[in-house]
Structure 1
Amino acid sequence: MAETDKESGSTTDEFLRAYIDAAKRKLETSPVGPSSAADLSVIIKDEETPKNWRRYYSNHEVQEIVNQECAECEYSWRMCKANPPTFGQRISQCSELRKVYTQCKERVRAEMRK
């Protein structure tokens, strides 16, 4: 039994059917087979996907996005760890920067799951 989307009144099956149809149309015009289900979303343009279709990311894609989004936090933490002015500061300030970096990674992952 398909779930009904409260906003549009459509079912999950209808969204999937529309998504698969768009993939078939795209593959007919440029026959390049995707190597995985995640690649379908790359082949199909965003405007062709159903309105509230949620993109699923592979673990590798998630890690790349997390690395990009949190690069500044990671850099600050690594620089503090490598060159602390004092030992005491290394423990307090660097551990705080590590927490900020970890929170950044968790936040980005949570946003991608929404």
Structure 2
Amino acid sequence: MANPKLFQMPFSKIYGLYQQKITKKQRSTDDLDAIIMWLTGYNPTELNRQLAEPVTLAEFFDQAPTINPNVTLITGTICGVRVETIADPLMQRTRYLDKLVDELAKGRPLVKILRH
């Protein structure tokens, strides 16, 4: 399931794709940032630094301060695969983020997306 090509993509490019997806659905970049910070533990300054530097997706997750312990509450499918069953930790974190962004784009309230 590992996808080295995906993991070597610049995180800023992936972030831009997420921005396009959510703004088409009238959701804000602030909501996107809130999701990313909830998942990874980055604060706004750290997130902006990650976006400004040539950081790959793999490096972005490797450098994350702390992955939220409530990620286990994220369930469902993304790309036809159940996120809770993905064995590779990096791919699972990537798909967790994809799932959260999908929920945001589908209009789910932020308070429900950020599983507390």
On whether the aligned pair clears a TM of 0.5, the verdict is no
RCO comparison, higher one (Cα < 8 Å, 6+): 2
The TM-score normalised by the length of structure 1 is 0.22
